[in-house]
Amino acid sequence: MHNDDASAPRTDPSTQRRLVERSLARRHGAEKRFRAAGLAAVFFGLGMVALLFASILAKGVPAFWQATVVTEVYFDPEIIKVDPRPVAQPGETPAQLHEREMAWQTQLTMANWNRIIENTLAAHLPEVTDARARARLRQLVTSGERFVLRDRVIADPALIGQRLTLKLLADANVDVWLKGNIDRSLPDSQQQLAPDVRAWADQLHERGVIQMKFNTTLFGNPDSRSSLASAGLAGAFVGSLFMMAIVILLAVPVGVASAVYLEEFAPRNRFTDLIEVNINNLAAVPSIIFGLLGAAVFINWFHMPLSAPIVGGLVLSLMTLPTVIIATRSTLQAIPPSIRQAALGIGASKVQMILHHVLPLALPGILTGAIIGVAQAIGETAPLLLIGMSAFVAAVPATPFDQSTALPVQIYLWQGNELRNFFEARTSAAIIVLLGLMLSLNALAIWLRKRFEKRW
Amino acid sequence: MEDTVMRATLVNAEKFVGVANGALKMAARDVRVFYGESEALHGVDLDIYENEVLAFIGPSGCGKSTFLRCLNRMNDTIDGCRVTGRIELDGEDIYDRSLDVVLLRARVGMVFQKPNPFPKSIYENIAYGPRLHGLASGRAELDDIVERSLQRAGLWEEVKDRLEQPGTGLSGGQQQRLCIARAIAVSPEVILMDEPCSALDPIATAKVEQLITELSETYTIVIVTHNMQQAARVSRRTAFFHLGNLVEVDDTTKIFTSPSDGRTEDYITGRFG
């Protein structure tokens, strides 16, 4: 205000204007380039995501339909020669009855189910009479179907002697052949199916006996190596759900509680600084290290079962904990101090302030952090490989202590399967399921945030 | 609007005559506040009398807010803040170990610089304190406390039809009166106000000032202000703080007409600050 007498260098107005105009062009140019670069980056990112989704969908969606033989099956009593199903005798213990039941089931398993399938298919192709050729008919149907037929009879022995229209899964190679996932012009020596089997597959497909049906086995069955067409991801899916539940029940409450303690109660000193630094370090530890820790501590020390979702869940919880703590702490830090002062000023105790005001306001942020952490854990593969979850498990786990795989591990396993042209689609289908699970979790996070968000 | 201000000033002027020296409510002796190693307040001795409005003035950083926050121990919430000396409320040491800080804050309420209603309904904002301290037995009694508090804060007519709407949706001035209503809902004996009008426009300020005058009939009020006209309008006594010292405290009229300390005179005549 008082610097009239200051001898500041003055530029005369016309020069000043010329100089500013000259710099203006340069500044506008810089602005344009900056915006263009940002836009290009956005398009690059979107393009990559679009490419990823397009390739996964293009490969994976066909796997949701699978070649299926829709046919009438005759449960021929001449072939299925079994005694009547055992019923409880007076004075018999349940164990004894169970033993006889098992013997009966073994007898049923010994029946020549292949012959039943052979006869079923021969009914559609009466011209095949040669015994060897007839045996090859069986290659049309995947090998696991004989056990499916057996299980039907176990469930209902009255089926013997009846005719029933059923859907039998075609063999994986038939599915590959009919979908055109193998070059049809390859010489016989390089084809996976014999020439006559290929011809039969085409014939039956044309006549509508082999149809492309929605693939329920993919979702209902566990993995399979003997009957590839019946391989499904139910076991992996349930395993992942168990681990997700463990992470939610363990990492979220423990993480939120530690964050609340560190942020609201802990004094600021060297010790808490050390804890803070180490939490941040922990968040940066590669996930495979957590797998090693899990193998050393949970399996070697506590003797927990190998390949079990309980161990996977514990390892993933450890891995998720820092994420939840950091997200919760930053949310708590963002709660305006004025709200805390208002609560304290009116005579609320610290716990009341936290429970009544701070946590409700922090809830959307905490939920978002927790769900992102859980989603990250669900997609994690490396630590699970080290605790044996990459084992082949042909059953759906009933409890978290049963052996199981997980969705990302299943993807990894199928990706490495020898029957590439069948499992490439299956792999992508599993990726779609995993991505679907993640997207639903993220959608849930967004919905919860909107639901609990309060403005002030 | 000037009318209101005028009237408030007149009402106040009348009351100065009415209220002689009340009983001693709070007493501070040699209060020092340290932030870490540095001393922010250098030994303050001050008496606060019942039903008076006492204003703290002084340039920024002089320690007036710090001292105010000692009176209901809000400084406890600041890391590294240490208070020595003795502050009494009705003869009891408020820094005594046996005294529960929750009880202290129920007796010594506070209104902050920036209106800070809870992001809840207007009703919940007022009902929170009474519910916390178990002051109401039953919904009807609580409704009654809410209505009376809002009436005392002069807000009832404006909000009675929208008690369920969020308190944060009110205008700045209404929010500050809501905060005052929230403070008086727990029936404190002393209300501390930390620059309650600094975020408000002149009209809202006038309303809050009038409210302060009315409330002083029931409550002891200590107000920190940057606005010397405000101190002159609402307070009976004024304390001037400078660089962490309490320079002088006296009747407001005396402080603004013939202060005994040169620093006070320099400040009120605008020579620094």
pLDDT tens track for B37-55: 899 999 999 999 999 999 9
Q: How far is B106 from chain A (nearest CA, A)?
A: 5
Residue of B79, B104, B110, B124 for testing the chain A interface, max A β-carbons within 10 Å: B110
Nearest CA in chain B to A338: B116
The gap between the terminal CA atoms of chain A, to the nearest Å, is 40
* Whole-angstrom distance, CA of residue B20 vs CA of residue B260: 22
Tell me: domain B2-268, CATH 3.40.50.300, correct? yes
> A342, B112: Cβ pair inside 8 Å?
yes
> In Å, how far is B131's CA from the nearest CA of chain A?
10
What does the alpha-carbon distance between residue A8 and residue B159 come to, in Å, rounded to a whole number? 58
Query: Which of A264, A333, A346, A355 to mutate: most B Cβ within 10 Å?
Result: A346
Strands laid side by side in the A65-74 sheet: A163-169, A65-74, A210-214
pLDDT value for B140: 93
Q: Where residue B20 falls among pLDDT bands split at 50, 70, 90?
A: very low
State the Cα–Cα distance between residues B46 and B174, nearest whole angstrom: 32
DSSP per position, A316-333: HHHHHHHHHHHHHHHHHH
Is pLDDT above 60 for B61?
Answer: yes
Please name the amino acid found at residue B247: V
From edge to edge, which strands make up the β-sheet containing B53-57? B108-111, B190-194, B220-224, B53-57, B237-242, B245-251
- The verdict on a CB contact (< 8 Å) between A347 and B106 is yes
Render each residue's pLDDT in chain A as its tens digit; 456 residues.
444 555 566 778 888 888 888 889 889 999 999 999 999 999 999 999 999 999 999 999 999 999 999 999 999 999 988 888 888 888 888 899 999 999 999 999 999 999 999 999 999 999 988 889 988 999 999 999 999 999 999 999 889 999 999 999 999 999 999 998 889 999 988 888 999 999 999 999 999 999 999 999 899 999 988 888 899 999 999 999 999 999 999 999 999 999 999 998 888 889 999 999 999 999 899 999 999 999 999 999 999 998 999 999 999 999 999 999 999 999 999 999 999 999 999 989 999 999 999 999 999 899 989 988 999 999 999 999 999 888 888 889 999 999 999 999 999 999 998 888 899 999 999 999 999 999 998 898 888 888 887 654
Question: How do the domains of chain A map onto residue ranges?
Answer: 68-213, 234-452
Each domain of chain B, given as residue ranges in start order, spans 2-268
Inter-residue contact A227 to A138 (CB < 8 Å): no
CA dist A418 → A63, A415, A422 (Å): 17, 9, 9
Closest CA to A123 of A204, A211, A227: A204
Kindly indicate whether the ipTM for this predicted assembly is greater than 0.95, answering yes or no: no
Using the predicted structure, report yes or no on whether residue B199 has a pLDDT greater than 70: yes
Query: Which pair of structure tokens corresponds to residue A69?
Result: 């033989």
Q: Is B69 on the interface with A (CB under 8 A)?
A: no
CATH topology of domain A234-452: MetI-like fold (1.10.3720)
Is residue B8 over pLDDT 50? no
Q: What H or E segment, with its residue span, contains residue A15?
A: helix A13-60
The pLDDT of residue B2 is above 50 = no
Question: Between chains, do A339 and B112 touch, taking CB under 8 Å as contact?
Answer: no
Mean pLDDT for the stretch of residues B104-110: 93
Nearest-CA distance B253 → chain A (Å): 31
Max Cα–Cα distance, chain B, nearest Å: 57
Task: Provide the sign of the torsion angle of the four alpha carbons A118, A122, A123, A125, taken in this order.
Answer: positive
Token duo for residue A341? 């002062």
Which of residues A3 and B88 earns the better pLDDT score? Answer: B88
User: Considering only CB atoms, which chain A residues are within 8 Å of B72?
Assistant: 345
Inform me whether the pLDDT recorded for B16 exceeds 90: no
Per-residue pLDDT at B3 exceeds 60: no
Does residue A187 sit at the B interface (CB-CB below 8 Å)?
no
Q: Is the pLDDT assigned to residue B13 strictly greater than 50?
A: no
The answer to whether A403 and A391 have CB atoms below 8 angstroms apart is yes
Q: What is the mean pLDDT of residues B149-163?
A: 91
Residue of A nearest to B114 (CA): A338
Chain A (316-355) residues lying within 8 Å, Cβ to Cβ, of chain B: 336, 338-349, 352
Residue A197, CA distances (Å) to A136, A185, A203, B71, B113 in order: 7, 15, 10, 94, 86
Give the up-direction half-sphere exposure of residue A218: CA atoms within 13 A in the CB hemisphere.
26
Q: Report how far residue B199's alpha carbon sits from residue B173's, in angstroms, rounded to the nearest whole number.
A: 8
